[in-house]
Copies of this chain bind each other. A is one copy, B any other.
Amino acid sequence: MRFSTAAAAAIVAIASSVSSVNGFTVSSSSLSSFTSSSANNFVRRAANPRAYTQTSSSSSLNMSATPLNVGIVGATGAVGKEIVGVLEKRSFPVANLRIFGSERSAGKNVETKFGSVTVELFSEDAARECDVVFLAVDGDFSLAHAENICAGNDGAVVIDNSSAFRYKEGIPLVVPEINAEATKGKKLIANPNCTTAIGLMAVWPLHKLFGLKKMVMSTYQAASGAGQPGMDELMEGTRSVLSGERAVAENKIFAHPLPFNVIPHIDKFQDNGYTKEEMKVTWETRKICGLPDDFPVSCTAVRIPTSRAHSESIVALFDKPVDIAAARKALEEAPGVKLVDDIDNLKYPMPLTATGQYDVEVGRLRKNIAFDNALEFFVVGDQLLRGAALNAVVVAEAMVENGALQAKVAV
């Protein structure tokens, strides 16, 4: 076997339950590149989170001095669970963790590193008592409550994982390694679509070098994009087909059966023939990277039978001539990115290796042969981590660093 214990743990998690990914093994090799003193600690943590969790409290962020009251709404869903896990592993300075849910989950206990937490029935007033609230719920819930939770000087900072506020002017849409500064002085932050966040981790360092001109993406998206029910449907459906119990797997979550299939349809169709998932990549790339409103990005978004890591084939056209060595160096140095591009040793990005990892894997880097000044590459990232939970927590860390998120003075 070519895979490490950590990778094996990840694939077990793929096949059984997502929760075991929370316990992934820390590789000692990742410790070597860690430096404790940095003005950009949050970026460094994103680049090498596994290393960070192994360091002593003395080398944690400045914010260790200001523990925060943290709330999570939707903590029993796939993304919510991962947020708890990321807060734990990154030693986020949690004074008190509160978990809010519906009547169905209120009263249940969730065991965390911060103690046993009893799920409270959600109310805006209770959420407002927190310093920061992570919303891991649907867009309708966010639309109804997010602005009320953060309103006024005594409201909480809200980091919203839904698409409700992503395209609203004045509300920052943030991948912290790209535009953390957009959070300054803000109280409501939108977390981007998973596909966009994962892809831009690779595209941004190259854009800084060569100047992005156009982008074409094709995606290979995991079942986890539809949450835990999506992952369950894939696994149960695969089981039912392999056992001969069913000729074709049942589908309730996806538009068609996903096992051994490919579904070129994610989210609603738009008037231009693209899906909303595809247009999110276009819209969010423009906003996050500060590009013009008509900046040319196109995407084909496809659901495939993998569990929780999205893959993306990207052709990026640039203004300036491209240089592979410079591109590799930029990717190697980019926080949150792991260059996995050693074809002699069959190393390239794969869900098998990227699952459960904070870093987005980038590889298959080559000069595109159909366009001048263009690169072609392959990106794989954990949909629930960089695509959701990790990004949200790193946003919060960035806001602690720049003062946008502070412990409230007791009233």
Known: A216-B216, A352-B257, A369-B296. A247 touches B313 (CB 8 A): no
B265 touches A376 (CB 8 A): no
Asked whether, in the complex, the Cβ of A11 is within 8 Å of the Cβ of B306, the reply is no
Find out whether the CB atom of B218 lies under 8 angstroms from the CB atom of A350. no
Contact B215 A256 (CB under 8 A): no
With both chains docked as a complex, state the minimum distance between the C-beta of A377 and any C-beta of chain B, in angstroms.
9
Interface size in chain A (residues, C-beta < 8 A):
70
Number of copies: 2
Nearest B residue to A223 by beta-carbon distance? Answer: B260
On whether the beta carbons of A256 and B366 are closer than 8 Å, the reply is no
- Please state if A305 and B302 are interface contacts (CB–CB under 8 Å): no
A8 to B246, CA, bound (A): 9
A331 contacts the other chain (CB 8 A): no
Taken residue by residue from 327 to 366, chain A's Cβ proximity to chain B (1 for < 8 Å, 0 otherwise) reads as: 0000000000000000100101111100000000001111
Q: Is the CB of A300 within 8 A of B378?
A: yes
Bits for A10-47, please: 1 = Cβ < 8 Å to B, else 0: 01101110000000000000000000000000000000
**What CA separation (Å) do A300 and B300 show in the bound complex?**
14
Q: A15 to nearest B CB, angstroms?
A: 4
Compute how far the CA of A370 lies from the CA of B212 in the bound complex, rounded to whole angstroms. Answer: 13
Q: How far is the CA of A364 from the CA of B306 in the complex (A)?
A: 22
User: Is the C-beta of A117 less than 8 angstroms from some C-beta in chain B?
Assistant: no
Interface: A272 (CB within 8 A): yes
B352 touches A248 (CB 8 A): yes
Q: If the complex has contacts A247-B9, A302-B220, are A15 and B260 also in contact, measured as CB distance less than 8 A?
A: yes
Contact string, A239-263, partner B, CB cutoff 8 A, digits 1/0? 1011010011000000111001111
Given A216-B315, A220-B304, A264-B313, 19 more A-B residue pairs with CB atoms under 8 Å apart are A3-B248, A11-B260, A15-B244, A16-B244, A215-B370, A216-B370, A238-B238, A255-B346, A256-B350, A257-B352, A260-B305, A260-B307, A261-B306, A262-B311, A264-B349, A264-B350, A264-B364, A273-B367, A297-B370
20 pairs from A and B in contact (CB 8 Å cutoff): A3-B248, A14-B241, A260-B305, A260-B306, A261-B351, A261-B352, A264-B313, A264-B350, A264-B364, A272-B367, A272-B369, A273-B324, A273-B343, A273-B365, A296-B370, A297-B370, A298-B368, A300-B313, A302-B378, A313-B313
